[in-house]
Structure 1
Amino acid sequence: MTGPARPTRVLLVDDQALVRHGFGLILRSEPDIEVVGEAEDGAKAVEAVRRHRPDVALVDIRMPVLDGLEATRRILADPHNRSKVLILTTFDHDEYVFEALRVGASGFLLKTASPDELVTAVRVVARGDALLSPSITRQVVRRFARLVPRPPAPELDRLTARELDVLRLVSRGMTNGEIAAELVLSEATVKTHVSGMLTKLGLRDRVQAVVFAYENGVTAQG
């Protein structure tokens, strides 16, 4: 007989104490979430992630000393890191958010999100899914990904026709179930195609797949 599941460990990173306090109150009220630490700037966030090894780090994008973008880059560049980064921002169209998604953040959340949205976001990211909802994420990607036109990445040639179809649908924010219905496949088959697509493109998750698709014009094809 197995014991109770381990709670999701969360680190709060924001330069405003009131924001950290408010988010902490919300998350600590959930029995399956444990707030393991706080940090008020990006440099301290990098150290706190090493020390606490949270499942999810909620990182404000604009902070003193070291901003959230550079903190995210350093956190996710650590080969020993297993923490996911969820970006917090007051800006729904922010080039820093896009860059954070490029370096591997698992999604972002507006600071105006409701308590339920905050809790749901932490749970979604903790279980390894990318936070592609609300659709505002795709608006950010769409706005910034094509600022500097470039030829399609040669890695695209590694994909099968079906994997390319899956990438195109992932870029629209569709779930595996929705993709399965669209392509008349089983969810298990879609999951296999998503895994193969990510591996061949050298991407860590669906968020990076969305960024890649927009940068390489995949969403405009077909």
Structure 2
Amino acid sequence: MLREEEKQLLKTLVVVYAEDDEIIREALGMSLKRKLKMVHLANNGSHALELIDEHKPNIILSDIEMPVLDGMKMAKKVREDLNMQNPIIALTAYNDDEHKSPYFTDYVYKPIDVDELYKKLLCFAK
């Protein structure tokens, strides 16, 4: 359960969320939109880069395995091409070293525990 000051802090956040699975993207996107200032949804890493460049989010959420441009390559481009140091949280089913990247700030493992995700968002918002 979020305290009132935590709810207010979440309401200041602009997030880009990249996920190729439409059901997951829409479901988590709806939850995020109820709590955050603005949520921009992308169905792949390339689309996410466009949204990131346009909206300059506080935090980026991304799946790792996606078509067109995967989350790891997208995170690298955010750091190197866009020169942004904003937190990038990977939302992934992979819990192994092969799917870790220095470009990700943190990880939340699927199935997503939204309470855990909001705690991480709050940590990075402070």
Give TM-score scaled by structure 1 length. 0.49
RMSD: 2.0
User: Aligned residues, how many?
Assistant: 118
Which of 10, 17, 20 lines up with 2:15 in the alignment?
Answer: 10
1:46 deviates by 1.2
Is the 1:106–1:125 Cα contact (8 Å) retained in structure 2? no
Q: Percent identity?
A: 26
The residue that corresponds to 2:112 in the other structure is: 113
Whole-angstrom distance in 2 between the partners of 1:35 and 1:17:
19
Q: Which has the higher contact order (CA 8 A, sep 6+)?
A: 2
Is the 1:12–1:37 Cα contact (8 Å) retained in structure 2? yes
Whole-angstrom distance in 2 between the partners of 1:63 and 1:115:
21
Bigger fraction of residues in helix: 1
Structure 2, unpaired ranges of 5+? 1-7
Superposition pairs of residues 11-30 of structure 1, within 5 angstroms? 11-30=16-35
Structure 1, unpaired ranges of 5+? 128-222
1:95 deviates by 1.0
Which of 60, 64, 71 lines up with 2:63 in the alignment?
Answer: 60
User: CA deviation digits over 1:149-205, x for unaligned, max 9?
Assistant: xxxxxxxxxxxxxxxxxxxxxxxxxxxxxxxxxxxxxxxxxxxxxxxxxxxxxxxxx
37-46 or 71-80, which deviates more? 71-80
Bigger fraction of residues in strand: 2
Give TM-score scaled by structure 2 length. 0.82
Whole-angstrom distance in 2 between the partners of 1:126 and 1:58:
13
1:81 counterpart letter in structure 2: M
Which of 15, 27, 43 lines up with 1:40 in the alignment?
Answer: 43
